[in-house]
Amino acid sequence: MLKNLMTGIFLWALFVQPQVFAQSTITVQANKPGAEISPTMWGVFFEDINFAADGGIYAELVKNRSFKFPDPLMGWKVPFRDSIRVINSRIDEKDHRYLRLPSLKSTQLNYIQNQGFRGMGIHGGESYRLVLGSRVAEGNNLSLLVELLNENGDPISKTQLSGLTTNWDKKEVVFEATATSAKANLRISLQGKGAVDFNYVSLFPVNTFKNRPNGMRADLAELLNGLNPGFLRFPGGCIVEGHHLDLRYQWKKTVGDLDERELIINRWNTEFMHRHTPDYYQSFGLGFFEYFVLSEDLGAEPLPILNCGMACQYNTGELAPLDEMEVYIQDALDLIEFANGDTSSKWGKLRADMGHPEPFNLKYVGIGNEQWGHQYLERYDLIAAAVRAKYPDIQLVTGSGPSADGDRFDYLWKELKGRQADLVDEHYYKDPNWFFNNARRYDSYERGGLKVFAGEYASHVRNENIKEATSSNCWLAALSEAAYMTGLERNADVVHMASYAPLFAHVDAWQWRPDLIWFDNLKAVATPNYYVQQLYSTHSGTNVLPVSADGEIVAGQDSLYASASLDKNTGRIYLKVVNASKEAKELVVNFTGLKPAAKEALLTELAENDLTKFNTLDQPENIIPQKDKAALKGTKLSLMLKPQSFVLVDVAGKK
């Protein structure tokens, strides 16, 4: 009997007794808007790493389209190597490489076949545009059979191209794919007796982002659009610096005719030998003009970063002599003219000739990436002085070295004060604990001085033994970033820009992880980190609101992190709360001074019990935002925070 009673009590305790949760109260002072939040606060960092540009967002499907790779046939399959000729006509001292495809003695068709970037992503039912730079070298009535082949070599699309002449010209044909393939190839076969020369073979989906010619892969650009980014930083990253100065990023070589853009090796080709990517080059089809157009299409401020006369200090660290800095200074001045100048100016005219007579309204220029030491400052000063003198309204972004602290960092911060500079670019790739423990990082920064651009950051979880490419973008990493970002928002008077890095990675061709967005040739997946960024960037607000618990800012006590903002234009209040503990928590939020315009608050929640969980291309919805509502009682809101969760609370207040 007693035993039965005890069992009954035990079961009651287990199933009937209400669970007791730790309760916390926080106060959001809804009627005390503080520092303004810069419209540029949450942006994106773009670098051509992990096949982000060629093979990624740049929608070109042909790799090595002008045969300019050091191995002219890299990316190309030819059935009879001996029959193909690679010709380099140096008619005007420049390389003009082309391929000669002759017919065979037999009745068999000779062809060239492009393998794309680890295959081509072809969608059944979609249209593709082939552009061929070609001429007839020999013979009459020649035509070309153009086919898309799936991974088994079966045609999934066919078309004919005729009317070839003995003059070089660009022929265009649009055709539809009848089936989908993630690893398709493009085959061009010669019909008739003779030979045809090719200097350019390009294949794009007709459907690009905003239907731009030479445009961006729509699904990847739409993901960027979903972030409503305040700025687009480009082109990197270390890619700005180069292993040595010859291989630095030179924007002038990335504008003008596509054929004229000078290909160079991508530094990430050889940077990590354990992730060697021998077929990684920069075609610059996505060059500075396209970056500006993309910024405009995204409604983001363009933020170009320029080389400052220094190669990557982790590589050669080559320096331009101080008395040979003119070329770097001129690059900066000319870039501003290219972006903003009158169409009668040299570079403004080029912008207009490329199809954009209106200025791009460039406001920011970054000088140098992760440089350090007095060598950086000496070079920086020369460029900054020239830019300030000619364009006093341009905001200058300086580097602070490759890490978030230490001698190099401290030295630059100290030296930069009082110099011609506006924003200091800080980079940190740290473990999740660092992010949780540094939510107060900017609380003690000097006010009213240089602003911070948190230009590259990501929480790095050590998990090399996990095979899935996207695994390092696990929930622990994203949760720690969400916690940390409360500190960025709270300090919006100091931090004016922030961007996660890197942005993109191809699952079959990456060098660096974690990354914000992963993709293959057909699909893309947003990581939990992406959703964290998105909840901040799409609910930014115009002013910081004070948030406290027991009179203290909320930055880790009881494993809670919180920040809030007000959108003065709409009256909406956005509260971001992270519960980093393994336990659920009851949270009472008191919005003091709130004049509610609705009885309910809208909630968006990211939560996951398994901190190692992540999204994949096949399971993209393991961790995604969930919507809910909660009733407001007067100015109070009671929330049940799930373990390890990030919640956005959206409250409508009267304007």
What are the catalytic residues? 370
The token pair that represents 7 in the structure block: 């069992």
Per CB under 6 A, does 501 bind ligand AHR? yes
Q: Which is nearer to ligand AHR, 240 or 545 (CB)?
A: 240
Farthest CA pair distance, the chain = 105
Per CB under 6 A, does 456 bind ligand AHR? yes
Site for ligand AHR in 150-179 (CB under 6 A): none
- In angstroms, give the least distance from the CB of 495 to ligand AHR: 18
Residue closest to ligand AHR when measured from CB atoms: 237
**Dist. CA 249–CA 254, nearest whole Å:** 9
Categorise residue 551: left if φ over 0, alpha if ψ from -120 to 50, beta otherwise. Answer: left
* Bridge partner residues of 198 (DSSP): 99, 134
The token pair that represents 505 in the structure block: 């990675």
**Dist. CA 192–CA 189, nearest whole Å:** 10
The verdict on whether omega for the bond into residue 33 sits within 30 degrees of 0, i.e. cis, is no
Per CB under 6 A, does 348 bind ligand AHR? no
- In angstroms, give the least distance from the CB of 460 to ligand AHR: 11
Q: In terms of Cα–Cα distance, which of 443, 308, 279, 291 is closest to 362? A: 291
Name the amino acid, one letter, at 594. L
**Interface size with ligand AHR, residues (CB under 6 A):** 13
Categorise residue 19: left if φ over 0, alpha if ψ from -120 to 50, beta otherwise. Answer: beta
Q: Which of 205, 366, 502, 596 is close enough to bind ligand AHR by CB under 6 A?
A: 502
Q: Which is nearer to ligand AHR, 229 or 402 (CB)?
A: 402
- In angstroms, give the least distance from the CB of 95 to ligand AHR: 29
Q: Which is nearer to ligand AHR, 370 or 520 (CB)?
A: 370
Q: Which is nearer to ligand AHR, 315 or 542 (CB)?
A: 315
Q: Which is nearer to ligand AHR, 286 or 641 (CB)?
A: 286
- In angstroms, give the least distance from the CB of 532 to ligand AHR: 18
Q: Which of 512, 531, 614, 646 is close enough to bind ligand AHR by CB under 6 A?
A: 512
Q: Which is nearer to ligand AHR, 16 or 273 (CB)?
A: 273
Element counts in the chain: helices (H) and strands (E): 10, 34
Q: In terms of Cα–Cα distance, which of 206, 66, 188 is closest to 122? A: 206
Q: Which is nearer to ligand AHR, 261 or 427 (CB)?
A: 427
Residues 268-273: contacts with CB under 8 Å, at least 24 apart: 268/48, 268/49, 268/50, 268/239, 268/511, 268/512, 271/238, 271/511, 272/511, 272/512
Q: Which of 370, 381, 425, 489 is close enough to bind ligand AHR by CB under 6 A?
A: 370
- In angstroms, give the least distance from the CB of 268 to ligand AHR: 8
Question: Using an 8 Å Cβ cutoff, are 347 and 337 in contact?
Answer: yes
**Dist. CA 123–CA 131, nearest whole Å:** 19
Crossing angle of helices 346-353/326-340, nearest 10°?
50
Q: Which is nearer to ligand AHR, 49 or 452 (CB)?
A: 49
* Bridge partner residues of 457 (DSSP): 428, 500
Q: Are strands 495-500 and 451-459 parallel, antiparallel or unpaired?
A: parallel
- In angstroms, give the least distance from the CB of 404 to ligand AHR: 12
Q: Which of 402, 432, 487, 541 is close enough to bind ligand AHR by CB under 6 A?
A: 402
Site for ligand AHR in 39-98 (CB under 6 A): 47, 49
Site for ligand AHR in 215-274 (CB under 6 A): 236-238
Per CB under 6 A, does 341 bind ligand AHR? no
Site for ligand AHR in 409-438 (CB under 6 A): 427
- In angstroms, give the least distance from the CB of 315 to ligand AHR: 12
Q: Which of 369, 480, 537, 579 is close enough to bind ligand AHR by CB under 6 A?
A: 369
Residues of this chain that bind ligand AHR (CB under 6 A): 47, 49, 236-238, 369-370, 402, 427, 456, 501-502, 512
